[in-house]
Amino acid sequence: MISKPKRLLPVISLLILIGSFGIFHKPAFAQNENGEVVTTSLYSKSLENSMGENPTRAISVYLPPGYQNSSKRYPVIYFLHGFMGDNRMLDRMAGLLDFGIQTRKIRPFILVIPDQKTSYDGSFYSNSGLFGNWEDFTAYDLVKHIDETYRTIANKESRGITGHSMGGYGALKISMHHPDIFSTVYALSPGALTIVREYGPNSDTYRELSRITTLEELNKTYFGKVIVAFGRSWSPNPNKAPFYCDLPFRFEGNNLITDPAVLEKWYENLPLHMIDENLENLKKLKAIKMDWGRNAGDRFTIMCQMFSQRLENVGITHFAEEYIGTHVDNIYTEEGRIPNQMLPFFDFYLEFEN
């Protein structure tokens, strides 16, 4: 047997020692090198409406460490907030984004959160017409504004869209409609994918709504407000005060009344029922991922499982993951989904500047 010359052993030992101290690795960012959150506003013609919704929207933008001192261009991740949320959540998320960059879970990037909280607590990122065209605002006006204002890599390969709950719904819906604008989507515990449980006709929600006649009474509910937000987003009716929308189900006494025409309008906006019509668009997306907490409640686990199964059945490659958690925990922490799942997903699939 031929052995290595003994004079090489000290060299080999030195190389192992050097490697163990990380000298062969690129240096991580210093802990005090943080990004910057900039908040501005944007007036959108897409949001002009006759119902009093403000067409000037606040936008919070995370600029990565080193942005102000370089000429580099960055990919952009668009994050859509949940029901009753707004753009100010970026102030709380910025530390997670710094952490993701500092620990090299993702390379430096820009992240954008637009304010889409409405008088009814959430636009559902949909073109209502009567209450404003929120999908158009997001896909066209917002993206155009960000590309014109910041040093972005202005192409779909460097744009991702994500969001939590209502925002996860919006991310899936908008990516299904606009694969020419966004290449990659990650939905964190998305809601409103189809009609189940509290959204369904035999739940207490529609019985409760059938007894409510004022906005003051509505605002004391939760699922009632969500259903009215669905209606204002997907089946608005300017002649139907005080909620100004049609609903697919109502109760007259103990009798359930279904309106098939309104139900069809809702199906056109529920991602599970949008798959067939948007099949070619789904195939154009580079990567799709969704996740949900095992203990988030039946409506979330059932909807997400149904949506993933339908994608699988029609041959759409995607990632779907159930994790141990609820609808809100294990997401916005250093150990949670955002820095350890969502950000690395975009780092892998988005195109960065060399």
Residue extents of the structural domains in the chain = 36-194+271-349, 197-265
Confidence grade of residue 143 (pLDDT, cut at 50, 70, 90): very high
CB 46 within 8 A of CB 78: no
Collapse the DSSP code of 59 into the 3-class scheme (helix H, G, I; strand E, B; otherwise coil) and give the result. Answer: strand
Number of helical H runs and strand E runs in the chain: 14, 12
The yes-or-no verdict on residue 16 having pLDDT over 80 is no
Span 212-221, average pLDDT: 92
Measured in whole angstroms, how far is the alpha carbon of residue 333 from the centre of its chain?
17
Could you tell me if residue 104 is left (phi over 0), alpha (psi between -120 and 50 degrees) or otherwise beta?
Answer: left
> 5-9, 68-72, 99-103, 147-151 — which is least confidently predicted?
5-9
The yes-or-no verdict on residue 211 having pLDDT over 60 is yes
Confidence grade of residue 2 (pLDDT, cut at 50, 70, 90): very low
Residues contacting residue 317 through CB under 8 Å, at least 6 positions apart? 288
- Give the pairing type, strands 36-43 and 56-63: antiparallel
Structure tokens at 353: 């500047």
Strand order in the sheet with 76-80: 36-43, 56-63, 110-114, 76-80, 159-164, 184-188, 287-293, 319-323
Single out the residue of 284, 275, 285 nearest to residue 310, CA to CA: 275
Measure the CA–CA gap between 62 and 149, rounded to whole angstroms: 13
Measured in whole angstroms, how far is the alpha carbon of residue 322 from the centre of its chain?
17
Q: What is the DSSP letter of 152?
A: B
Phi, psi (deg, nearest 5) at residue 53: -75, 135
Q: How does DSSP assign 181-242, residue by residue?
A: T-SEEEEES---SS--GGGSTTSHHHHHHHT--SHHHHTT-SHHHHHHHHHHHHSB-TTSTT
Measure the CA–CA gap between 119 and 4, rounded to whole angstroms: 76
The yes-or-no verdict on residue 228 having pLDDT over 80 is yes
Alpha-carbon dihedral sign for residues 145, 148, 151, 152? positive
Q: What is the pLDDT of residues 60-109, one digit of tens each?
A: 999 999 999 999 999 999 999 999 999 999 999 999 999 999 999 999 99
To the question of pTM greater than 0.85 for the whole model, the response is yes
Span 157-164, average pLDDT: 98
What pLDDT sits at residue 7? 37
Phi, psi (deg, nearest 5) at residue 106: -150, 150
- What mean pLDDT is reported for the chain? 91
Q: What is the pLDDT of residues 248-266, one digit of tens each?
A: 999 988 899 999 999 999 9
Rg of the chain's alpha carbons, rounded to an integer? 23
Bridge partners of residue 129, in order along the sequence: 132
The yes-or-no verdict on residue 151 having pLDDT over 90 is yes
Domain spanning 36-194+271-349, CATH architecture: 3-Layer(aba) Sandwich (3.40)
What pLDDT sits at residue 39? 98
Confidence grade of residue 32 (pLDDT, cut at 50, 70, 90): low
What pLDDT sits at residue 298? 83
What pLDDT sits at residue 222? 93
Neighbours of 244 (CB within 10 A): 18
Q: What is the pLDDT of residues 304-349, one digit of tens each?
A: 999 999 999 999 999 999 999 999 999 999 999 999 999 999 999 9
What pLDDT sits at residue 202? 84
